[in-house]
Amino acid sequence: MLKKNDIVEVEIVDLTHEGAGVAKIEGLVFFVENALPTEKILMRVLKINKKIGFGKVEEYLIQSPHRNQDLDLAYLRSGIADLGHLAYPEQLKFKTKQVKDSLYKIAGITEVEVAETLGMEHPVKYRNKAQVPVRRVNGILETGFFRKNSHD
């Protein structure tokens, strides 16, 4: 039986709509940030509920050929690039798959043609919309993005 802080070898089988890797072990579904399908990792168990759990990559045993090696990790930590660890052409395929999966899960539609997601010629350092928090720290104004799921 798995418990918090156990380290287990898992294979990532899918991605969530937020870009977290999905692994299945002992009847539980685990969500692992910065993990991609086909990757084998050593995962540290962070939290377990009745049917789901959350894990953290401790070590990559086998990395996906679609992993973006050039990514600035600050983008992942800030949450402004949830799919940043996935190579851009694969991001486009993933987004098309998300539309198909949503149509099936929400409306039960299985036979539908979904056009390929259109991409950009230069998909880096581009933001369509951004909200940048401003706060005063020790009398000085600070701006920037929060770390993902935090106010840091």
pLDDT at 96: 93
pLDDT at 120: 87
Mean pLDDT of the chain, nearest integer = 86
pTM of the model: 0.75
**Residues 59-86, mean pLDDT to the nearest whole number:** 78
8 A C-beta contact, residue 19 and residue 37: no
For 4-37, letters b (16+ CB in 10 Å) and e give eeeebebbbeebeeebbbbbebeebebbbbbbbb
Domain boundaries, the chain: 1-65, 70-146
Q: How open is the CA angle 17-19-21, to the nearest 5 degrees?
A: 110
Whether pLDDT at 139 is above 90: no
Domain at 1-65, CATH from 3.40.50.720, 2.40.50.140, 1.10.1270.20, 2.60.120.200: 2.40.50.140
Residue 133: band (very low, low, confident or very high) from pLDDT cuts 50, 70, 90: confident
What is the C-alpha separation between 77 and 150, in angstroms, rounded? 10
